[in-house]
Amino acid sequence: MTRHHPSPDVPFPERHDDDLLTLDEVAEILHTPENTLRWWRQTGTGPEFFKLGRRLFTTVGDVRHWIRRQRLASAPVGRIRKVD
């Protein structure tokens, strides 16, 4: 079976920027433990999360923006592109 891999320029293209994601959904998307995401939230290094009731959420747009920033931060010198 062939798996479809979306373009790295648009993470999870089937979702809209305003769609909400839960902490566990982001953990699955980023292949990162939930506790790491909580730590990143405390230290201000991960995608922005906010609380609705007792649960943490972020938007698809915020995760996409964070991924772009991470790509730029790790890009070799001379290959840096402008982020929206």
In a domain, 24, yes or no: yes
| Residue 82 token pair | 């402008």
Instruction: Give the global pTM.
Output: 0.73
In a domain, 3, yes or no: no
How many folded domains does the chain comprise? 1
Q: What is the pLDDT at residue 4? A: 43
| pLDDT band at 75; cut points 50, 70, 90 | confident
DSSP 79: -
In a domain, 1, yes or no: no
Summarize pLDDT for 18-65 with one digit per residue, the tens. 999 999 999 999 999 999 999 999 999 999 999 999 999 999 999 999
Q: What is the pLDDT at residue 49? A: 96
In a domain, 45, yes or no: yes
Q: Which domain holds residue 28?
A: 20-73
Q: What is the pLDDT at residue 2? A: 44
In a domain, 69, yes or no: yes
CA distances from 53 to 10, 44, 57 (A): 30, 21, 10
Amino acid at 44: G
In a domain, 6, yes or no: no
